[in-house]
Structure 1
Amino acid sequence: MNQNTTRELLNYLKDNSGFVTSNELANVLNVSTKTIKRQVKRINDDANALVIKSEKGRGYFLDYNIYLYKKDSLSFMDKEPLNKIQLDILRELLLTSPKFIRLDELMDKYYLSESAIHVAIRKIESVLADYNLVIVMKHRHVQISGSEKDIRDALIYLILNANNEYDFGNLTDILESQIKDPDISFAIRQKEYAESALKSTIPYPYNVNLFMHIYILLNRTRRFVKISMDDKTVRSLDKQISEYPEIFSVSTEILNNINRYLHVNVSKNEIYYLFEYLISSRLNSIIGDKNDDTLVKTVTDLYIDIVSHDFGIKIVRGSLFTELFQHILPMINRLRHNIRLNNALIDEIKTEYGQLLQSVETASLQIEKDLNLPHISQNESGFIALYFAKYLEENNNQLSAIVVCTTGIGTSELVAAKIRKSFPNIHIENVISSFELDDVIKYGKKVDLLISTIPLRKKYKMPVVVVSSLFSLRDKNRVQEVVRNLNEPIDTSKFLEIPIETKELSKDSVINMVSQKLGLLTGLDSRRINKAIYDREEKGNTTITNGIVILHSIINDKFPNFVGISVLNTPIHTWKCLDNTPVRIVITFCLSQENVIHKSNVKDIRYLSRNLADDDFVDELSNSRNSKVAINLIKRKLEESQC
């Protein structure tokens, strides 16, 4: 586990107020439970305190008070940047890897003592951990060990500083002015040749990655470094090479140009590296026409579904789907080929769109698991979050809210600031005291939501969420649930009359009739409806009181949810409710399993379920003469619940 993952472990525990099992942590961080255990011990040892506590059968718990006091003593929390000499040593070690360099040679070249060179190497080693690279010391010689991809990534982002937010033109201008190296012009020409030959512009930041790859290749080859590629990796590319021969041909020609430029024969394996970089760029005019887009479409749909559910908003796919699809297509290629893409704006995204990024990262974890994809990094999730941020700003699907506290200053301003950061779809209309609230509601602009740091004595038409002055994760979740409810419209058109015409009334005959009628009315397979109802009945009683039963049919398919209402002329005396009354009213929930899992499009059903716990409503419903009267009563009650 590297230091980034150590921070992720702490951050995950910080965001969860209770215990988290080792299995959950291992799944989220993509490591083993043994690694979690070792890492917890390391953190506690480093702090010389029980920062993370554990209980058998419950998991791990972050003692937040101890963490606040001890976080500065955790060595991995903040790494001091390398100085110029240390960066020069790092550059030399990376460029010559996997060759060893004598320690004496480095000491003489940079005028360092024995102790100073060892300090430099320890600091370099801590930085390299983020790139899965290690320092190897042997007989007073030192080398950097790791995969070729990771070595080049470290050169790109640590030495050439390509993670700054420069476009291609700015970056190459800066490098030319600082380094004054003819290799830069050559690498630019190869990038331009690829675009010309493929009749496609390589956009930022893919153009920077390709340019850097070629530039670093020139430098490493001059040091007589032989590059190797695993035969397994080469074989895995064979299918894509056959699909995109023009890209493979361009990769071959660029290598020929490099051979002529350096007057050497570079390893033919470099063709495969170049091919990987090109295939993982947004060459939509080539890749988009040939790619089997089923996986890309599924990933795009999942991101939109999960984020829209988290934020409680209905997203119209349109341009958002198109833009995400075009981004995710090369992203999947990058994941498959282990190509790292740093996000220059990740810190700003965390600050400006923290909750949105968190939602996208949650989606990324689920997508990895469900579709068996490689790890989707925070950098990649950050790029995707920007597409959603753009959509939210352009469509302005915002709810208006008022933040209330005792005085209207202090805690409420803090809460308002945190809400703005966490919820881009909530617009804070005002921050006021509880004394001003009635007048503001009476004479001011209509708002959708009240968020208060104190309990409010009166009842208001809009929802009220009481939160703590610190606006904790629990508070965020409560606000998120209310926002989801506000944005999810009640669709009472899904309530269907199910007339029961059989004379021989029994539990089985009614269930069979309900299944057949629902199948006819919805177009679903009545046999699947019937089986799902019986599967639920086997698990336990679904009757309530006053002659009412609630059948459940949850089907693994995509469709809008339906609720069937049947009022029987004659009660079924062989089918009794909890209060021993015979069943007369049959309510059937016919639900899509996907909607149940994601809790989407189920607001009407949630409200109906809550109202069925209201004795007055149940009494009124049980007196319904027929299905039509019952549905009208339910519609009226749902409309009242929404107010």
Structure 2
Amino acid sequence: MRKITARQRQIIFLLLGVNEEITAAEIAASTGVSVRTVHREMEELEGILGEFGLNLSRKSGKGIQLTGLEAGLAELRSFLQEEKTAEYSGEDRKVYELCLLLEAEEPVKLFSLAHSLKVTVASISYDLDELEPWVQKFGLQLVRRRGYGVEITGSEIDKRRAICRLAAEHLDQSDLVGHAPQMEGNPVFNMLLTMVGKNNLMDVENTMWDMEWSWTVELPEIVYMELLLGLAVTVRRVEIGRGIDSAEEAGYSRMSDHRNIAGTEQFVHKLGELLSLEFPKLEILYIAGLFDRVQDSFSSADFAYGDIALMEIVYRLTENVVKRTGLPFQSDRSLREGLLEHIDPALKRIREGTRIRNPLLGPIRKDYEFLFHIVRSAVEDLKLDLEIPDEEIGFLVMHFGASVERLNQLRRNVRAILVCASGLSSSRLLATRLMKEMPQIEVLGNISWYEAARMREEDYDLIISTIDLPLVKDRYIKISPLLTREEIDKLLNYIQNTTFKERTQSTFQEPDKSVREEMALERMKSHKGILDEMVSLIDRFRFYSLDNGGMNLPATLSEMLDTLNGSGVIGDSDILLERLLERERMASQVIPDTRLALFHTRSSHIHMSSLTLYRLRQPVQLEGNTEVRVILLMLAPRKLSKESLEVLSEISALLLNSELVRLLEERTEAEIKRYLSSELLRFFENKM
């Protein structure tokens, strides 16, 4: 019989003490932990309870109930009275050990660790065996010597990377930015929050917003959160005297190597004054490097719609699910856009070995059991040579589940914005659940927690969040993406007693009307933006037969760019050439099963979007010894409207259509324009 922790004992007593279902949220409130932690504990408890012949019954919309024979329940009660609880779960113990070792200035004795955790030295040794591969992923070493103790050695930068990853694997966004108090009974949780600089995190975030940098607003939420966590960890390490040893370790040897150095110096000066902390020059270099790398990663990733390999994965996955269900998922553009946005970072996390956490996995498997098995089979058919965990399958199921439930929008009278920590999948699922269950709510969109904290109250009626927010409690309501029956009642009650009450207190009704009119005008502007982009792209589309005899790939691309000189499309072609070659080195640009390649980039040296086709006299060799005879060049400015990005996304998706590929390889410029015009018009009409 395995040991149980005090928290697990608490949960079991709660389940034994009720005669009906109890929700994970109620368990979390009673035990002082997050809902995510409750779901994680349930996985371990199922094995423990199974030894008594008992089960955890989970019913969607109702909650969790302990079921089994009375003899098993009696045996469990007897066990709880006699068994001495373990101080920490195995998972908590390992987190504690990592926190202690990553902050220690000198080796820690195994006996000391064992004494602190109330386990044997052998248990600590076993934990360290399991932790060693994780530590090595960051270029660090777990050093153990008899009589010496144990320590983690390596560069300060690598230790900071490990700390950030540890936090990402074990903390939710609401743990970091919400107002929820730290759990008094969980020293491991508090230790981890302290190590990542939770106390200073909001000061760091507010200082960054005070800088009024435009690029921070453009960052995807996951990238923004990684940056914020990296900065908070840096502040914490400086506070405890764990500084960077050399300029090379900081990432650059000179201040002039950073394009962000001036802004970084201002940021660090403001932050230092606020926290009464002095940042050495090497830390300024390091923070500037964080800003540089975030901008570089964003600029290379934000044109994911041009990534044909990613497009093909989404296309094949959708087709696989269509074949198994008969449902027309391929016609759902919202599904495609959601999968495109989700899958790329998901695959990167899996390749890096990052632990995928999905606190909704249990309910998803219950509510969408049939769809879960279908998506699992569809993913396996992709043969990605990766082990895709059930947690990730759960996120994909949420995308397809949202598509299944997507209904025509009805007239609504409550304007809501959504904040979902689990990303686009949970926000889309919650939005469609709201459409179905509460058609009076108009979902204005999904935003990040930091946007919600700064949004004008007159721009919305209601914030619906799946996480704790750094806002006063009456400004938002927290529910789960699955929107259970009791949460629907809770939401209706909130709207009646808070949202509508606030409305009736206002004597003016005209602002609501003006907001509606403004929204109508914004929709018209958006439609016009899409039409303008489609018309201008097709008007500027050109086809060239290129004599590239004896030219390699760089020379061929250079010749292609020369055809655009004087057109007003591009500026510095040398910089664009390097960007195009860099993208080819990162991933193949070849359309699968064709001799056609899509080369694309966004840059401040591009002045307007452009689509140009080149048929080569001789095939040119790309990475991986692949030869192509036709290249489609898609260029776009660095700053691009949402409407323009949608159009470019649609054109990229059309390249998976064999009809367009045939036209690009064989037919005339006029025929290609007619086809693109017809398909883009259909795309526009579907948005109306």
Is the structural similarity TM-score above 0.5? no
TM-score normalized by the length of structure 1: 0.36
Larger radius of gyration: 1
